[in-house]
Chains A and B, each alone.
Chain A
Amino acid sequence: MKDKRFLTLAIESSCDETAAAVLSGGRDVLSDVVSSQIDIHEKYGGVVPEIASRHHLTAVNSVIDEALAKAGVTLDDISLVGVTCGPGLVGSLVIGIAAAKAIAMAKNIPLVGVNHMYGHVSSNFIQYKELEPPFLSLIVSGGHTNLVYMESYTSCRVLGSTRDDAAGEAYDKVARVIGLGYPGGPKIDRLAKEGDPEAIHFKRVYLEKGSFDFSFSGIKTGVLNYVNSQKQAGRDINAADVAAGFQEAVVEVLVNKAMEAAEMTGSDSIVIAGGVAANDRLRKELSSACDSKNIKLYLPEKRLCTDNASMIGCAAYYKYQALGDDGLYLDAYPSLPVDAQIKISGDGETSW
């Protein structure tokens, strides 16, 4: 007999994690399985698309089986299948989508495509059961840096985006410059704790007044210039001070822009999401800034910040409630805009 609860099976494969989860309703996680490829990519200094794709293919079925087993259910109990359909690496996305479609078709279950960025924001709904839109969200990850105003569970307004490198990407590149390797975020965060954030001052880039856009390419170049000039002068660099100074510059801009955006939108709560939301310095600085302004800050647990399928399941649930299913015409949309909500009509017409 089919489980009485509304169960969602979610699949995520947009970058370097193959993940699956089972949720009851929108916010209750019954199982969450992640098969990470970070070890493999560490060797290459970043995500290598084709390698990622091949590993997703190897991992996807066993990850789904494990998620179902851990939740103590079978495919016959599932009421909805949700899958990340963009943005991300096309070769990686298609693997998760193919698996999701196969299940949806074989078991005649509704299927919805989820924008990965709505997923990141939704990780907060899992942790904070009382949280409801509207609120301001800062999404910071390897591929994205955005300030968005979430109007509802299924719509948002983008206030600012990066104009060049994403915050996480700047971390990866700077880690490479000072010889730390991939992934750069946690490694710089760790090393920065031993350094003096005031020892080296890197220029903060705020762009024109009133803009909520970001630019992190210049900080990366600043670090590079500093390291090269020290080398030319025959001086050793203090990697911990470089890490701390760089991190301070990035975090300061993120925090100040988030606070300004909160003021402009009159938001009394800020929700952070994405891989860089796991950064200790960002969490600490944002917490104290929010405290001083009486703004409630929602900080998801670190395991919910990085890519996972629970957040996709949560976003899928709310999208299905509001907009219905997408059906088997669902495809991968590698450059899906942050605020886009994919909608596919019965005859396959796609819009966002």
Chain B
Amino acid sequence: MIEKVIKNEEDCRDFGLALAERLKPGDVVALIGDLGVGKTTLTKYIAQGLGISEMITSPTFTVVCEYRSGRLPLYHMDVYRLENAGDVFESGIEEYMDGKGVCIIEWADMVAEILPDDTICVFMEYGENEGERIYRCAF
């Protein structure tokens, strides 16, 4: 695991754009971290890196938002409210991991059992200073 100090939104943007460059069809990105840590903000920058022109808004209400204007389709999910394995199975989110697009899953630790082995995990935490975040990931 590599630890990255994200000092401000600029750093978050650079991280998101760099991550977007290496994404390929079928990739699953797991964003793990507390409320307010910036999961949707990071997703915006990954989407920007994928060339998506639509506005990325929080998927909390609809669980899944699809965006198709970029280099790859993006499926942005928030699984916070899926309570158990049954809900997860019936929500159909596994069907999005079919290899055509990229899945970004917020609160992915809550659906750990369905994540593929090669999931790209980003653990996000608050840093010591205001606005600072710590990302831990394998790249």
Residues in A lying within 8 Å of B, measured CB to CB:
44-51, 87-89, 142-143, 161-166, 169, 172-173, 176-177, 217, 220-221, 224-225, 228, 334-335
Given the interface pairs A334-B62, A335-B66, the reply to whether A50 lies near B57 with Cβ below 8 Å is no
Instruction: Find out whether the CB atom of A46 lies under 8 angstroms from the CB atom of B40.
Output: no
> Which residue from chain A places its CB closest to the CB of B80 in the assembled complex?
A46
Residues in B lying within 8 Å of A, measured CB to CB:
34-36, 38, 40-41, 55, 57-58, 60-63, 65-66, 80-83, 87, 90-91, 126, 130
List residues of chain B with CB within 8 A of the CB of A220. 35-36
List residues of chain A with CB within 8 A of the CB of B66. 335
Instruction: Find out whether the CB atom of B81 lies under 8 angstroms from the CB atom of A45.
Output: yes
> Which residue from chain B places its CB closest to the CB of A174 in the assembled complex?
B35
The distance in angstroms between the C-alpha atoms of A60 and B98, with both chains bound, is 33
> Which residue from chain A places its CB closest to the CB of B60 in the assembled complex?
A169
List residues of chain A with CB within 8 A of the CB of B130. 225
The distance in angstroms between the C-alpha atoms of A320 and B85, with both chains bound, is 43
Instruction: Find out whether the CB atom of A169 lies under 8 angstroms from the CB atom of B58.
Output: yes
Given the interface pairs A51-B87, A161-B55, the reply to whether A142 lies near B61 with Cβ below 8 Å is yes
List residues of chain B with CB within 8 A of the CB of A46. 60, 80-81
Given the interface pairs A44-B83, A164-B40, the reply to whether A50 lies near B91 with Cβ below 8 Å is yes
List residues of chain B with CB within 8 A of the CB of A51. 87
The SS class assigned to the B binding surface is: loop
The distance in angstroms between the C-alpha atoms of A217 and B90, with both chains bound, is 29
Q: Which 5 A-B pairs have the closest CB atoms?
A: A143-B61, A221-B36, A224-B36, A50-B90, A46-B81
The distance in angstroms between the C-alpha atoms of A162 and B61, with both chains bound, is 13
The distance in angstroms between the C-alpha atoms of A48 and B79, with both chains bound, is 10
Instruction: Find out whether the CB atom of B62 lies under 8 angstroms from the CB atom of A143.
Output: yes
Instruction: Find out whether the CB atom of B58 lies under 8 angstroms from the CB atom of A165.
Output: yes
The distance in angstroms between the C-alpha atoms of A142 and B81, with both chains bound, is 15
List residues of chain A with CB within 8 A of the CB of B38. 221
List residues of chain B with CB within 8 A of the CB of A176. 35
Given contacts A48-B83, A224-B34, A224-B35, could you give 12 more A-B pairs where the C-beta distance is less than 8 Å? A46-B60, A143-B62, A163-B55, A164-B40, A164-B41, A164-B58, A165-B40, A165-B57, A217-B36, A220-B36, A221-B38, A228-B126
The distance in angstroms between the C-alpha atoms of A87 and B63, with both chains bound, is 13
Provide a sorted-by-A list of 18 A–B residue pairs whose CB atoms are within 8 angstroms: A44-B81, A46-B60, A46-B80, A46-B81, A49-B63, A49-B91, A51-B87, A143-B61, A161-B57, A162-B57, A164-B58, A165-B57, A169-B58, A176-B35, A220-B36, A225-B130, A335-B62, A335-B65
The distance in angstroms between the C-alpha atoms of A290 and B43, with both chains bound, is 38
Interface centre among B36, B65, B130 (most CB of A within 10 A): B36
Instruction: Find out whether the CB atom of A166 lies under 8 angstroms from the CB atom of B61.
Output: yes
The distance in angstroms between the C-alpha atoms of A217 and B40, with both chains bound, is 9
